[in-house]
Structure formats: C-alpha cells, structure tokens
Amino acid sequence: VGGEQISSIGRGLCVLLGISLEDTQRELEHMVRKILNLRVFEDESGKNWSKSVMDKQYEVLCVSQFTLQCILKGNKPDYHMAMPTEQAESFYNNFLEQLRKAYKPELIKDGKFGAYMQVHIQNDGPVTIELESPAATIDPKQLTKLEKQQQRKEKTRTKVPSESSRERNTPRNKDDPSASSGAEGDVSSEREP
C-alpha cells in the first residue's frame, strides 16, 4: 500500500473476499468454516487434498475485493451487487474477527480495507477455488436486467423487523421515522478501489 509492505504470509491461503448486498452473518459464518476447513494441502505422506490450513498451522491472508461482485454491462463493469463501502468495512472486520476467534489470531493477516493494493500471490499448483455460501440463492450473473434492477431496489430499502405478525399487518404512519420510503440507501456504481 503506497509502496510499503503492510502484510505478508508464508505458506497458507490468500483469501480474496467479495462482499455482496445479500451477505449476512449466516454467509460470514459459513465462509469462515469453509476457509479454515478446506482440505487443499498434502498430508505427511504426500497425499494431496488431505489437510486444511488449520491442520497444517499455516497462515491466512485476507484481501477485501469488491470487484469480485462485478456484473458486466457489455464491456463496462458494474458493482451494484457489491455491499456499500461503509457496511462492507464493518462486515469485513467482523469476518476477520471471526477467523481469528476460530483459529490462531496471529496467523490471520489482512490488507488495508479500501486501499489501492498491489497483491503478489504465488499459487502452489496453481490452485484457485471459488467458494460461495449455499445461502446465496441468486447468481447475479444469471439475472436479466429487469430482475437486477428490481433486486437492487429491494436490497436498498430499509427494513424494520417487527416483533409479531400483528405488527406486520398494522399500517405504518407516514410520520413514523422507522417507515421506509424506499428511496434511501441508493447504491452507486462509482467505487474507489
């Protein structure tokens, strides 16, 4: 970052994390379990695909990368499916915290959120594995333009959870500060790397 090396690991995993609008605590927990338990390393006898990063006591380097949520509109990348920066930073920090709780904190390293980084990865193999939570039911790449627009509208509305089904059927007063107009939370495709 800015010509300075801020983080590095030896043998282990480099996790490029793309955080989407749909991601919740459930997806976060799933990804932490998968990353730490994914059997991609050899065992003591040289058998491939036998040991996890935790089994081998290897390191994990995490890099937040919103560009993984890209949807191409012709030749132009669109990042509307990426979680907005403010929410994504909190989500990313929570992700790191959960990794450190589940493993050894000193073996979990990270980049600098929102910074322009030069990331040097030396793949052993090379092996690159795409992980996605089973809770992610919609593949944004398969949506039509209309479906994407509708999904963006739904995802950017503020939702206020109710305590009972009776409350859900109660009409909201227009002066109620918890009522949503649906206009707030508009997500721009303009993002700083």
Cα–chain center distance at 69: 9
Mean pLDDT, residues 149-154 taken together: 61
Average pLDDT, stretch 70-87? 95
Q: What's the rounded mean pLDDT across residues 48-68?
A: 97
Share the mean pLDDT of the chain: 81
CA 40/CA 128 separation, integer angstroms: 10
Q: Catalytic residues, which ones?
A: 67
Tens of pLDDT along 3-22? Answer: 999 999 999 999 999 999 99
| For residue 140, cis peptide bond before it (omega within 30 degrees of 0) | no
CA distance 26 to 30: 6
At 182 the three-state DSSP class reads coil
Q: Binning pLDDT at 50, 70 and 90, where does residue 156 land?
A: low
User: Which phi and psi angles does 42 have, rounded to 5°?
Assistant: -80, 155
In tens, the pLDDT along 164-186 reads: 334 444 444 444 444 433 333 33
Q: Tell me, what's the pLDDT at 173?
A: 47
If DSSP states are collapsed to H, E and C, what string results for 44-74? CCCCCCCECHHHHCCEEEEEECHHHHCEEEC
Of 90, 85, 94, 91, nearest in space to 114 by CA: 85
Burial degree of 136 (CB within 10 A; 0-12, 13-18, 19+): middle
Domains, the chain, in order of start with CATH, read 12-142 (3.50.80.10)
pLDDT at 2 over 70: yes
The widest CA-to-CA distance across the chain, in whole angstroms, is 69
